Amino acid sequence: MSSPILPTPSGSLPPDLQGRPILVTKGQCGDQLAVRIEQQRAKIRVLGLAAEERRQSDQLCIQEQSQKAECRSRDVRQQRVSTAVSTAERRVLFYQQEEQRRKDRQARDDSAMQAFLRYEAAAKEEKEKREGKVREAEGRTLAKVREREQQLALCDQQAYFRGQWVYVENLNRLDPKLSW
């Protein structure tokens, strides 16, 4: 006897086994053959049902995978959008910080310039004070020198008049505006 044709999970039963009763010979051999054929048909039905269940579970699995892939792609899109937003926010924050640093540098430069100008003004004032003190000292020195020269000139006049046999006491009585 040839082996019966079994259906594949994706196919259906062959046309000669689709529920038609098979003609058998009469007798015990025919009964056994009919029982065996019915058993084979029952197995085929069970295998067909199992194949259908597998096909349905495969479809469910494929649907779940496609849903997961769609969720992942949606998550990736959301992540890209949030990354773009966070990148833009970071860029804005960077520019704000950069502007604040620029303002701080400008304020620091301005205060340094003001401090330098104050220092220059104080140095100029100090220099003028020193020059004033030097001029005063020079003036005092010149006054002392003039006084000394006057004293020397007076001494020279007194010596001259002594040489002329004039008494010194009389010199004190003379008018200093008189010229000799």
Identify whether the C-beta of residue 40 lies closer than 8 Å to the C-beta of residue 4.
Answer: yes
Token pair for residue 172?
A: 């004190």
pLDDT value, residue 24: 46
Q: Please, which contacts does 36-43 make with residues 24 or more away whose CB atoms are closer than 8 Å?
A: 37/4, 40/4, 41/17
Return phi, psi of residue 19, to 5°.
Answer: 90, 5
pTM of the model: 0.36
Contacts of 161 (CB under 8 A, 6+ apart): 168, 171
> What are the residue ranges spanned by the domains of the chain?
15-163
pLDDT value, residue 82: 85
Q: What does the alpha-carbon distance between residue 170 and residue 94 come to, in Å, rounded to a whole number?
A: 100
In terms of Cα–Cα distance, which of 13, 9, 14 is closest to 51? Answer: 9
Q: What is the CA radius of gyration of the chain?
A: 65
As averages over each run of 10 residues, the pLDDT of the chain (180 residues) reads 52 55 58 90 94 94 94 90 86 94 96 96 94 92 92 83 61 61
Q: What does the alpha-carbon distance between residue 42 and residue 160 come to, in Å, rounded to a whole number?
A: 170
Q: What does the alpha-carbon distance between residue 87 and residue 64 come to, in Å, rounded to a whole number?
A: 33
CA angle 116, 122, 128 (to 5 degrees): 135
Contacts of 85 (CB under 8 A, 6+ apart): none
Q: What does the alpha-carbon distance between residue 33 and residue 27 come to, in Å, rounded to a whole number?
A: 10
In terms of Cα–Cα distance, which of 56, 57, 34, 46 is closest to 6? Answer: 46
